[in-house]
Amino acid sequence: MKLILIGFMGSGKSTIADALSHKLAIEHHDLDQLIEKQSGFKIPAYFEQFGEAQFREFEHQTLIDALELDGIVSTGGGTPVQDANFDLLVQHPTPTVFLNATDETVLKRLLKDDVESRPLFQELGATGLIELKHARQPKYEQLADIIIDVNDKTPAQIVDEIVNQL
C-alpha cells in the first residue's frame, strides 16, 4: 500500500504518518529525514550551506526515489508546490492526503516547536510564513484526494479519519 501525506509546516505530517504507519503496519518514509540521511546535513544546516535552490533539487531527486518505495511518504511542506514535484505528484497514482491546518494552529505549533529547525520560518517571520501558506493552499488542494482538517484533533482521531476515507 502507498500513500502520500502533504501539508504546510506544523500540520503534523510526520506525527500522523508515523501513527498511520503503525496502524496500517506499513513503512513510513519521511522526505526531510531521507534528505538529512543522504546529504549528511540537518535541514537548517543544508539551507545555510547550499541555499534553498539546491535544497529543492536535492528534495526533487529524493522525492523521485521515495515514490518508488512502498508505504507512506510524508513530504516537506514545500515539496508538493515546487513545479517539478507538483507535476510528478499530479501524475502519480498514489492517493494523496492533505493535512489542512488553520493559520492559528500552524503558528501555535511552530512557535512551540524549535523555530530554528525551520529555516523558512526564521527567514520570513510569522507574517511572511502565513502569506506563504496562503499562496501554497490551492496547490495542496489540487493535489489532494483526501483533505483532513486537523485542528484540535488528536493524532488517533486524524488517523481514524484517514483510514475511513481510504
Distance from CA of residue 70 to its chain's centroid? 17
The nearest distance, CB 26 to ligand S3P, in angstroms, is 20
Q: Show the binding pattern over residues 14-53: x = contacts ligand S3P (CB under 6 A), - = does not.
A: ------------------x----------x----------
Is there binding between residue 80 and ligand S3P (CB under 6 A)? no
Residue 83: name the closest of 125, 143, 147, 158 by CA.
143
Alpha helices in the chain (DSSP H): 13-24, 31-39, 43-50, 52-66, 83-91, 103-112, 119-143, 155-165
In 3-state terms, what secondary structure has residue 99?
strand
Question: Among 78, 95, 146, 155, which residue sits at the site for ligand S3P (rule: CB under 6 A)?
Answer: 78
Residue closer to ligand S3P by CB (options 25, 65) is 65
In angstroms, give the least distance from the CB of 148 to ligand S3P.
16
Residue 118 Cβ, how far from ligand S3P at the closest point, in Å? 5
Q: Minimum Å distance from CB 25 to ligand S3P?
A: 23
Q: How far apart are the two ends of the chain, measured CA to CA in Å?
A: 11
